């Protein structure tokens, strides 16, 4: 009888704490986050790195005690990188750098592998604007202004300090290629997230 009562008490305690754990551990609810890190391009006229940032907000729904899936919107500025000379790697024109920034809208996931540690994933559409040199430009001082809707995707790992705060490391790719100007950029960043 004592074992049965103890087992029932354990089941009752699990039933009460499981929903709380689901809300605390899987990142469900409204959130805002920001990333800052190193951006890099290794395309045609561009081969370099700079500092970029991204700001996002959205909502995640708990789909399991360890997982939440949601939607997000955001903005990023992926830095300015000097064009390189194809023959010797020197800068072509010091004042003329690539530019890439834009808006994101997509889906994301927060998956706990322990109560505090998680992995994350995201992806969606990327509406971007940029300036850069094309592969076909003989005159390496002329830049083109371009814009397009493309895609982005990324993954990360991080630590939930409590129900509201987490820190993570992320790797994201932003596709940006139009009319021979390829500004597609990768960003390795540190992120901080606050959940309401």
pLDDT at 135: 57
Inter-residue contact 161 to 167 (CB < 8 Å): yes
Range of the domain at 167: 2-195
Return the percentage of the chain with pLDDT > 90, whole number: 56
Residue 64 is part of a domain; what is its CATH number? Answer: 2.40.160.20
* 54 Cβ contact list (under 8 Å, min separation 6): 34, 35, 74, 75, 76, 104, 172, 187, 189
pLDDT class of 85 with cuts at 50, 70, 90: low
Whether pLDDT at 114 is above 60: yes
Question: Per-residue pLDDT for 3 more than 50?
Answer: no
- Model's pTM, two decimal places? 0.79
Alpha helix stretches (DSSP H) within the chain: 2-25
pLDDT score for 19: 42
The per-residue pLDDT of the chain, averaged, comes to: 81
pLDDT bracket for residue 5 (50, 70, 90): very low
User: In whole angstroms, what is the distance from residue 56 CA to residue 40 CA?
Assistant: 20
Q: Are strands 165-174 and 185-195 parallel, antiparallel or unpaired?
A: antiparallel
pLDDT in tens, 12-52: 443 333 344 434 447 899 999 999 999 998 876 777 889 99
What's the token pair of residue 3? Answer: 């074992």
Q: Smallest Cα–Cα separation from 102: which of 71, 122, 132, 129?
A: 129
Q: Is the separation of the CB atoms in 189 and 36 below 8 Å?
A: yes
Inform me whether the pLDDT recorded for 130 exceeds 90: no
Identify the CA nearest to 192 among candidates 173, 172, 171, 164.
164
Rounded CA-CA distance 25/58 in Å is 17
Helices (H) and strands (E) in the chain, counts: 1, 10
Count of domains in the chain?
A: 1
């Amino acid at each position: 009888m004592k074992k049965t009562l103890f087992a029932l008490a354990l089941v009752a305690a699990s039933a009460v704490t499981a929903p709380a754990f689901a809300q605390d551990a899987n990142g469900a609810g409204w959130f805002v986050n920001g990333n800052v890190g190193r951006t890099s391009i290794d395309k045609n006229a561009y081969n370099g790195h700079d500092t970029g940032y991204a700001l996002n907000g959205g909502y995640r729904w708990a789909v399991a005690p360890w997982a939440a899936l949601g939607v997000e919107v955001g903005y990023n500025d992926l830095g300015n990188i000097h064009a390189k000379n194809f023959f010797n790697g020197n800068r072509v024109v010091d004042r003329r750098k690539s530019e890439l920034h834009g808006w994101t809208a997509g889906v994301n996931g927060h998956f706990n592998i322990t109560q505090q540690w998680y992995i994350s994933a995201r992806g969606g559409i990327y509406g971007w604007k940029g300036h850069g040199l094309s592969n076909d430009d003989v005159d390496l001082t002329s830049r083109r202004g371009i814009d397009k809707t493309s895609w982005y995707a990324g993954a990360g790992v991080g630590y939930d300090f409590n129900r509201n705060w987490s820190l993570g490391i992320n790797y994201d790719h932003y596709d940006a290629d139009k009319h021979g100007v390829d500004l597609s950029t990768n960003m390795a960043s540190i992120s901080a997230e606050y959940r309401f």
